[in-house]
Amino acid sequence: MAGPAVPTHLEKPVWRTGARLSDWAIAVIVFLGGFVLFEPAPYELVLAAVLPLWVFAGLRLNRFTAPLITLCALFVVGGIVAMTQVTSMAGVLLFVAVSAFLAISAIWFASIIADAPERRLPLILNAYVASAVVIALFGIAAYFEIFPGAATFKLAGRATSTFQDPNVFGPYLALPLCLMAHRILTRPLHKSAMTFVLFAILALGVLLSFSRAAWGLSVLALIVTAIIAFMTRRDDKSRARVAIYVVLLSVVSVVILALVISSPLVADLFGERARLVQYYDGGRLGRFDRILLGFATIPEHPLGLGAFEFSRELFGEDEHNTWLKGFTTYGWIGGGAYVVLALWTLIASFPLLFRDRPWQPYVHATYAAFIGHLMVHMVIDVDHWRHMFLIYGILWGAIAVEKTERWRRSQPAIPRARPHARPVAAAV
């Protein structure tokens, strides 16, 4: 026997309240991604509290996120297997646990985006922009020591803001920077005044991180953003406007750079950090030498070395190369899975750039930032960057939406029987 029907007037308010609470939870989690002064960070703590509730409420895994789920699982399994090779377990369990948690976060983001892309993609990216602007302002204020204790949020004269490392602070700003650039390039100029301000704040934050990785990532990602914006415009007039705005945005960036480095406080450090090869990059067992020697160890260690062993037992420094670290820390299983994940994501999300969807600008900016991050994989470890896994989640959520829609269109229509239709034989 069917249970009592829920009154129609009660269904909608309850659903709306639940949706509003879930959206607030998502926004808070994304916002907290910019505050990583210690581990586990507030981001992990809140997400760990929210995830069981979401699963209990019926979190749906989209079938088309299966590659992401499988490859993330293999990545983590590789890290667990590699634990058998370590000489000391100090910090290893926490390291692998964080890797697993971040992999789960990518799957979660992909699932909730696939479930409601039109609402959640803007929500997630706008919360990310808000977080990035806040920590960029904080980092700028810390760099110029505008408040007491500001030196705590600097490292070797470089702004770290709410991160432990300027090489994470700077790259964190790249995706919001691309989104602001995309809005400037694709909207009328008179509607972009505030966007220009936000772009300038984020660009200054990247600059004051004095991270060569962040500088290179941001420049490459902005170039890709401009190319995507130009390619996806539908008429010559729109393309010409994009080209003009690219020039304008470049001029603004150069002016910001000139004004900032005119300060003696910035000029010396900028000159030092602008050199392509630093003293710790070249030479015997420098960064580049370690990377080459590290790749040579991969065939000898199919199970990997395990977390921290590369620095503890072999070279005294971390890998500073995500592709290398994938194999040394997560073994052939995890390293291979990560390479496949990166390439699969790059290829599968490319067609989305040309789909006319309400959330297309968010996909454009995320894809551009993703390409920039893949380049940075060559010189830095990103396997514990929260926003890296958020990027994977965004792109796979968008991939799942498109594949789901295509699958639905391919299904044959099932004719509905008329409720009171007479049998054909009886009609005859």
Contact between 137 and 173 under an 8 Å Cβ cutoff? The reply is no
Within-domain flag for 414: no
CA dist 408 and 413 (Å) reads 10
pLDDT for residue 209: 95
Query: Where is average pLDDT lowest: 7-21, 74-88, 91-105, 333-347?
Result: 7-21
Q: Mind listing the pLDDT tens digit for each residue in 158-176?
A: 999 999 999 999 999 999 9
- pLDDT-based confidence at 248, cuts 50/70/90? confident
pLDDT for residue 58: 74
Q: Mind listing the pLDDT tens digit for each residue in 400-412?
A: 999 999 888 887 7
Within-domain flag for 5: no
pLDDT higher than threshold 50 for residue 421: no
- 428 vs 293, more confident: 293
- pLDDT-based confidence at 99, cuts 50/70/90? very high
Residue range(s) defining the domain that contains residue 312: 18-402
- The mean pLDDT of the chain is 88
Half-sphere CA count of 30, side-chain side, radius 13 A: 28
Within-domain flag for 4: no
Dmax (CA) for the chain in angstroms is: 97
**Mean pLDDT across 294-305:** 93
Taking CA 144 as the corner, what is the angle to CA 141 and CA 145, rounded to the nearest 5 degrees?
Answer: 75
Within-domain flag for 421: no
Within-domain flag for 218: yes
pLDDT for residue 427: 38
**Mean pLDDT across 125-148:** 96
Number of structural domains the chain divides into: 1
Contact between 30 and 129 under an 8 Å Cβ cutoff? The reply is no
Q: Note if the bond before 415 is cis, omega within 30 degrees.
A: no
Within-domain flag for 6: no
Sign of CA pseudo-dihedral 30, 31, 36, 42? negative
3-state class of 159 per DSSP? Answer: strand
Q: Mind listing the pLDDT tens digit for each residue in 175-190?
A: 999 999 999 999 988 8
Q: How far apart are the first and last CA of the chain?
A: 38
pLDDT for residue 413: 64
CA dist 317 and 320 (Å) reads 8
